[in-house]
A and B are shown apart, each in its own frame.
Chain A
């Protein structure tokens, strides 16, 4: 069964760069043409898609964050990454990673609360 797990710093100062890792287990990151995405949820708020990467390396990103956001991957390690520069308090959120395929965003990681 495919599992995703977010990891990274839980506390950042304003202007720092947020770097998160999503580790994929129980399946291969490179095996199929899925999107692998990042989503966040600010406290008490709704879901916001941040960006996605395909196993080809092609990426998509939220237009409102495009100048600060990079999504990358390390296929051999079954991992993909999020980099968000110049964070501020509004970037405080639970950050999720998820596989995106025909059935939608599924599965999701358990989420990681990051506080700025």
Chain B
């Protein structure tokens, strides 16, 4: 059971907008930044959103992150086939001397 809760799957057709949610608590998302990682099967994860809503250089502006209270969302607009991947949220948790926590991951299928 992951500390951060994500839906196990999401899907959309090319061009559509998809939202992936991430739910935490006051000790993690409620007080710290949220990060989103994209993992194509067989490869290492790659950050697509950092500090709640910032995009690293090279990540298309179709990727949008937001946070409200103890929840966060990743929105991918103009869905493309290459967006098909697993997406994980992560945050620092202030309890137990501090530790990183990940969501269980959401498998995004582009239909």
Residues of A participating in the B interface, judged by any CB pair closer than 8 Å: 37, 46-49, 52, 60-63, 96, 100, 102-106, 108-111
Contacts and interface: CB of A to CB of B under 8 A. Distances in A.
Given A49-B99, A103-B47, 13 more contacts: A47-B102, A49-B90, A49-B100, A60-B99, A61-B99, A96-B44, A102-B50, A103-B54, A104-B37, A104-B90, A105-B35, A105-B90, A111-B44
Interface of B: 2, 35, 37, 39, 44-47, 50-51, 54, 56, 86, 88, 90, 96-105
B99 A46 contact: no
Contacts, number: 60
B44 A46 contact: no
A109 B44 contact: yes
Contact of B2 (A46, A52, A61, A96): A46
Contact of B47 (A52, A96, A104, A109): A104
Contacts of A52: 100
Contact of B51 (A47, A102, A109, A111): A102
Contacts of A61: 99
A63 B3 CA distance: 12
